């Protein structure tokens, strides 16, 4: 890249850990060496977050447009949406007010990216319950982005280090997830996986496709989805010169991925992909009774804009207590920078 990318970062739910981990991340001067970060949220809440984390030598620069940003370390540029403030919310409490605010932050960052005022978007966590209380009926960020960018073919990708997973389905019931395992969709996700790997510099990605059933169906003994839907999709992907293996039994595919056999795994449903990634990235310290690491990135593939996100929830029980780890947000910003480079390279 010839210039630093402008990265729009949503503050997340105002009552969550989003504001304070944003403050922690932007207190790291190295972030400004690699990008131009800008927060979409509230001036008053970012100022409260700085107090919470004990950062006294930084200030908030409230702005109304990207053109007003200074992008100088020590002064956090915040597009001040003016929707709520610290007096109107209760830390750690889900509310329609916070839901409305967090939805509007996402809407704003998407519009900025679509208008090419910023190069990539990074999202802090929102409460699905809160946004639905505010009458925005979405299952999560992925669905909001798809709707507001008019994207029909998309998928969620999770990444931690060299382990990556992309999903055939995410926020649906397990019963519906099984019904969504169709040849066309599996092929679509394999293609998205290949494109995503190439975007971050993996020239010839090796892709593994998971089975849906135990033992990948055991030749039809435990289910026929592998024979009828998954294998035909794999064969079509191979005809397009994609290096893809499968269906690999779900209980062995991730140990292989961790060992370096694959660059990315195509999982059939939400928990099949999320559980192993979070087992790898989330580390709990029993002695300290606290999370020592909450790492990983959530990326939406197939969009006309770049979107990465923290790979954790709102952590309402930790809000405004200065105990939340900023590591996943740091990872998300790093991945956004890589993806901008992949598009411009």
pLDDT, tens digit (0-9, with 9 covering 90-100), for 123-172: 999 999 999 999 999 988 999 999 999 999 999 899 988 899 999 999 89
Q: At residue 290, does pLDDT exceed 90?
A: no
Asked whether residue 147 falls in the same domain as residue 163, the answer is no
Beta-bridge partners for 297:
159, 310
Phi-psi region of 322 (alpha: psi -120 to 50; beta: other; left: phi over 0): left
Burial 191-218 (b: 16+ CB within 10 A, else e): bbbbebbebbebeebbbbbbbbbebbbe
Overall number of domains in the chain: 2
Q: Please report, for the domain that includes residue 15, its CATH number.
A: 3.40.718.10
Please indicate, yes or no, if residue 193 is contained in any of the structural domains: yes
10 and 82 part of one domain? yes
Rounded Cα gap, residues 186 and 245, in angstroms: 13
Distance, in Å, from the CA atom of 298 to the CA atom of 210, rounded to the nearest integer, reads: 19
Handedness of CA 89, 94, 97, 101 (dihedral sign): positive
Cβ atoms of residues 22 and 46 within 8 Å = yes
Q: Is residue 292 part of a domain?
A: no
* Shared domain check, 235 and 188: yes
Do 145 and 269 reside in the same domain of the chain? no
Q: Comparing C-alpha atoms, which of 187, 153, 161 is closest to residue 266?
A: 187
pTM to 2 decimals? 0.87
- Band (pLDDT 50/70/90 cuts) for residue 1 is very low
Are 190 and 55 members of one domain? Answer: no
The Cα–Cα gap between 335 and 301 comes to 13
Residue 127 shares a structural domain with residue 104: yes
Share of the chain above pLDDT 90, in %: 84
**Claim to verify: residue 140 and residue 28 sit in the same structural domain:** yes
Convert the pLDDT of each residue in 16-70 to its tens digit.
Answer: 999 999 999 999 999 999 999 999 999 999 999 999 999 999 999 999 999 999 9
End-to-end CA distance of the chain: 7
Q: Is residue 294 part of a domain?
A: no
Question: Domain check: are 142 and 120 in the same one?
Answer: yes
Burial class from Cβ neighbours inside 10 Å (0-12, 13-18, 19+) for residue 273 reads buried
- 87 with 71, same domain: the answer is yes
| Structural domain boundaries, residue 168 | 155-277
């Amino acid at each position: 890249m010839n210039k630093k990318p402008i990265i729009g970062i949503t503050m997340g739910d105002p009552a969550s850990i989003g504001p304070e981990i944003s403050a922690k991340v932007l207190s790291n001067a190295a972030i400004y060496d690699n990008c131009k970060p800008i927060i979409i949220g509230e001036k008053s809440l970012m100022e409260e977050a700085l107090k919470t984390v004990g950062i006294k030598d930084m200030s908030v620069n409230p702005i109304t447009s990207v053109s007003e940003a200074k992008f100088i370390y020590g002064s956090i540029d915040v597009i001040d949406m003016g929707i709520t403030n610290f007096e109107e919310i209760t830390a750690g409490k889900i509310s329609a007010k916070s839901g409305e605010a967090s939805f509007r932050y996402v809407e704003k960052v998407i519009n900025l990216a679509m208008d090419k005022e910023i190069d990539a978007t990074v999202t802090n966590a929102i409460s699905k319950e809160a946004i639905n209380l505010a009458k925005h009926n979405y299952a999560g960020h992925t669905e909001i982005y798809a709707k507001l960018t008019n994207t029909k073919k998309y998928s969620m990708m999770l990444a931690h280090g060299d382990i990556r997973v992309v999903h055939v389905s995410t926020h649906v019931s397990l019963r519906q997830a099984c019904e969504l395992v169709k040849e066309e969709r599996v092929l679509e996700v394999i293609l998205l996986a290949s494109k995503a790997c190439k975007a971050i510099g993996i020239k010839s990605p090796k892709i593994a496709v998971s089975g849906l059933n135990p033992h990948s169906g055991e030749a039809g003994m435990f289910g026929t989805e592998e024979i009828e839907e998954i294998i035909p999709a794999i064969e079509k992907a191979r005809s397009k010169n994609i290096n893809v293996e499968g269906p690999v039994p779900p209980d062995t595919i991730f140990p292989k991925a961790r060992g370096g056999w694959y660059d990315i795994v195509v999982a059939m449903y939400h928990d099949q992909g999320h559980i192993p990634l979070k087992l790898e990235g989330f580390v709990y310290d029993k002695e300290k009774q606290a999370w020592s690491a909450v790492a990983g990135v959530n990326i939406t593939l197939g969009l006309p804009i770049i979107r990465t996100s923290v790979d954790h929830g709102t952590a309402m029980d930790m809000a405004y207590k200065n105990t939340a780890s900023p590591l996943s947000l740091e990872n998300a910003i790093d991945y956004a920078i890589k993806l901008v480079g992949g598009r411009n390279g």
